[in-house]
Structure formats: C-alpha cells, structure tokens
Amino acid sequence: MKLYSLLLFLITVLVSHAKKPNFVIIFNDDMGYADLGCFGADKIKTPRVDQMAKEGRKFTSFYVASAVCSASRAALLTGCYPMRVGVRGVFFPNRGSHGLEPRHFTIAELLKSAGYKTLAAGKWHLGDEPKFLPTNQGFDTFYGVPYSNDMYPAENMKYAKDCLYLEGMSQETIKKAFADAKPGHQPKLKDKVPLMRDEECIEFPLDQRTITRRIADESILFIKESVKDKKPFFVYLANPMPHTPLFVSKDFEGKSAGGIYGDVIEEIDYNTGRVLDALKEHGVDDNTLVIFTSDNGPWLIKGDHGGSAKPLRDGKGSSYEGGQRVPCVMRWPGKIPAGTECNEVATAMDMLPTFSAISGIRLPADLKLQPDGHNIENLIMGGPEEKTPYTTFYYSNNSGVRSGPWKYRAGRKYGNWAFPRGEMPKDNPQEKQLFHLIKDIGETRNVIDQHPEIAERLVALIDQSPNHTMKLFKTGKPKGKRYEFEKGKVSGGATAGGKHVGGMQNMGASITIEVDGGKKGGEFLMTLGYACGGNASVALLVNGEKQTDLLLPTTGGWSTHKAAKVYLDLKPGKNQLLFRSQKKGGVNLDYFDLKHNK
C-alpha cells in the first residue's frame, strides 16, 4: 500500500510538472495607448496583436508603476513599487554603479526555482555591470541591449573575443573615444549601443535595423529548445523599440501610413506574430500565457517619431494617464475568454504574484519585500467577480493616487515631455488636480474645487504610499548594536558635531565607520536614524564595494528625526561602512543599529 501511494505521489508530481504553464511577456519601449489597431490606431496596422485581442482579452485600465523605463521594468520583475527596490528613475552607463540589486526577488527567480528555463531578450536597463545583468537576476541567458538604444557604450563593458565590430569600430577606437571625452561627459558615441549575449558584448555597435527580428529569432529558438528539453519556459521579450532613435528593417521601411514610427510598430506586430506561430508549431500554444504591453506611455517630445496615448492626457515621464496607463492584451487559448475586455485596474506589478498563483509555485516564506501587486488570475480568466484588488494605485514618485474612479495629482500643469521640442507653453504652473476618470478619461476637467473633501482624502492616502525606498519609523531604543555617526571619519565636506553628521549636502561628502560582523558575518538588519527636509540619496559601500543606494524619504524637516531599515551583508570580523552623499540637499545622519539576521 505504501509503495502504491508513493508511486501515485510521484505520478502526480510528474503530471503536475508537465502541465506547468509557460509565460511570455512582450514588453515594448515607449509604445502609446493608441498605437495598436485594437486600441484605436487608424494609420498603424497591427493585425497580429489585434488577433490576439480577438482570441484573448484587452485590458483598458492597465498601469505600469512608473512613467520611465528602468523604474517600470524593476516593478514588473519584482512586483514592487520601484522605489521600494531602490530604482527611482532611469539608469545611464558610466554614471556610477547603479542597478536593480540582485537581492531583490524576480519573476525569473520564482520560475527558475521550479525548473523553468528563463530567457531575457531585448532591452534590460536595470544595470549594465555583471552583478546587475539578467544572468544574476534569475535568467538562464540574456540576448539584447543593456540599456536604451540612444545611449553609449559602457566603459567597463566586456567584449567577446569574436565580437563583431561595425562602422569602423574597434577596441582602440572605443578606448580613444573615452580618452577624448571631457571629465564627467559621455564619449562621442551616442546611439551606439552593444548587443550582448549573457555578460559579453558580441556586436558593437548593434545594427539597430535588425534588433526587432533578432530578438524574436532568439525567443523562437529558445521556445523550440525548451519544448525539446520538456521544460516549462519564461520568455521576457523586451523590444528596444519604439524608443528613439527609430530603426526599421528594409522589409518594413516606408510601408506604414503612420510614417517611420508606424513602420516600427508594424515590424513589432509582425514579429509578435512569429512568436505566437512558434508556440503553435511546437504544440504549446494552449499552455502558454502571452502578455503584450508597454513600459510607459509615448515620448511625445519626439513629435512624429513618438506615439499616441489618445484619448489619455500626456505621455512618457508624466503622472497623467498617458504616462502610465498602457495598452495590454493577454492571450491563453482555452483559459482566457476570447474577444473580451477588462476595464478594472490591473498593473504590471501583478505579474509576479499572478504567475505564482497560476503555476502553483509559492513565493519564498522568508521574502522580505512582499509584492505590492496582486494575483489577478480572476481578471485574466474572466471569473464571476471581476473586480480590481486595488483600493489605491500610486503614480510615479507619489505625485498622484487613484482610488476608485477618483484621481488626485499634484505637479506641473504640463509634463516635461508633453509637447514636441519648442512647443511647450511658457506658463507651466504647479497645480493640484482632481479628476473623475470614468467620466473624464482625458483629464480635461479639474473638479478639485467642487469636491475638496475627496481631494483631502486622497492626499491623506499619499502619505500612506508604499512607494518609498524605506518605510519610516519613530526613532527609539537600540535594536542590536548601536553606532553613532559622529564617531566616524568624515571627508568631502561632511562635518561631525553634536549628535549627528551634517554637511552631506555636498556631493561626495562621506563618513566611514568600522563595524563588527561577528564570527560568521552574514546578513544584518540596519536601522538608520536621520533627518532631512527633502529626499536624499546616499550610497552605502561595504569594504569598498557598493551594496545599495539609500534613497531616503524626507522626514518632514531637519529637526524631525525618523528611522528607516535596510539589509546588508557583512564579512566576519571588521567591516568598513562608507556612506557617501549622491544628491544635493543633504541629510543629517544620527545613528544606525546593526542586528544579525539569523
């Protein structure tokens, strides 16, 4: 009987493993709400994505957690608001050591833990150093561009021995470009970006006319190999387009009535179709959830090289709807009801908890940062009670909040990139705004004077936002061993005196303190006491290696001290901690406690 039960258990496990669903996320760069036929585009033809919508479900209130790319991508992969994982905006090469810290848990890590094969193809933009690359964030392999296609080569880039150099480039010309660059400036190699495989550059500069097709080729090959190996798979296909500069292959050049921007979108649509065809060809179409969406709204400052968010207001970089509400289509034959539409609020942060629920893979019990996203399986599959799990949604940098149909926003009347160059109105005042998004999807009528009590309620909600790098607490008794900042060694303009270290408004101002990692070292919880009148950014280095950026929220004033928590790794015995200011405005550092996280 015991043998029979064991065999039955093993068979159940094997069958369950064989039926684990596959996941494909197609994440486009700067695609607008109205850039697809099924979302209202008239000059741009997208038959394959439109067919996806007919065979699946269109989401009309789907949001990303930031109006710019790095932060949006961090939120997608971790399920958390971006500032909680230390990603405030956009990363650039050659501007210090910045990226999504590998200690944060990603979709790829979740799925890989259960035997999935994982691929990141296309644009990454969460750090270009090896420790930040996809291969250190749960992906088996990476094929693509480490950041936006309008950037530069990274000076510390590793080039493969057989790297293909184009446009007369070589190791010598690249080194010369960096040598000739003025201090603090990028080399004169703008728009020349590397094509990487895993952690090495294999082509420089990338022939950007070919990238949309090539990352589709890579994804199709990966699907084929995964099926051959009888492994479930996760494909994260992040198209570098239609971010500018725009590039398109000869097969699509001049073909769209929407100009070169339309050419680019139509090529993306065609290659999306190729990926969908590959799923059918290899017999996994009915066991694969495919999600097609964008990282933020269209870059309107680029004019006819940017997309459209109509009927939404504004675009990329803005906390108006056009900046963060993006087109989204999901397809899973036999699971998602065909030709349906969901108008409930859903977000890219929902992918991690939803994939966990659908695949049956539990999130780690000791996961320190629980996702801000929700399991939206019911919204995807069309359950009997299709209601959003969100009572509140917070916009970029907490500049706005949505609760039900109401949205409160505070900021400039026009976003920084709201108009083509030279067309921005000179008068751009700060405004506090209240919109009813069901009655006024275009945010044309500010009704804050008619409903001050609703605005007051929403303002109070912003104070409760989890979209901070650190949650603030009242300062209190030591939690572990306490270290006083004024006892450390200051440099770069920092000053020690009284009960804190000040002078941290000077860029590069630093303080070094020696701490004890104990006999075994390991992970420690740091409770940091400080005060600042505005947001502050402090790099934390441990033994000369940067561990994290402390993006410290305002405490409400220089005399108001609060405490925040962060985890760090220490080696056994003595460790040198260096705190270095990265932002003008400054912070007064009071103390920190260290407690071993056993």
- Residue 438: CA count within 13 A, CB half-sphere: 7
> Is residue 494 a contact partner of residue 560, using CB atoms and an 8 Å limit?
no
> Is residue 55 a contact partner of residue 67, using CB atoms and an 8 Å limit?
no
Q: Which of 501, 478, 476, 481 is nearest to 491 (CA)?
A: 501
DSSP per-residue letters across 175-224: HHHHHHSPTTS--S-TT---EEETTEEEEES--GGGHHHHHHHHHHHHHH
Phi-psi region of 125 (alpha: psi -120 to 50; beta: other; left: phi over 0): left
Helices (H) and strands (E) in the chain, counts: 11, 29
**Token pair 């065909």: residue:** 338
Return the sign of the alpha-carbon dihedral for residues 315, 549, 595, 500.
Answer: negative
DSSP per-residue letters across 287-355: GEEEEEEESS---GGGGGGS---TTSS--TT-SSHHHHB--EEEE-TTTSPTTEEE-S-EEGGGHHHHH
Give the span between the Cα atoms of 289 and 116, in whole angstroms.
14
Distances (CA, A) of 168 to 103, 171, 172, 174, 346: 40, 10, 11, 10, 47
Give the span between the Cα atoms of 359 and 560, in whole angstroms.
46
Find all residues with CB under 8 Å of 529, minimum gap 6, and list them: 475, 561, 562, 563, 589, 590, 591, 592
Give the span between the Cα atoms of 523 and 540, in whole angstroms.
15
What is the helix, strand, coil percentage profile of the chain, to 5? 25, 25, 45
Give the span between the Cα atoms of 116 and 287, in whole angstroms.
14
Collapse the DSSP code of 226 into the 3-class scheme (helix H, G, I; strand E, B; otherwise coil) and give the result: helix
- Which residues are catalytically annotated? 69, 125
Give the span between the Cα atoms of 304 and 302, in whole angstroms.
6
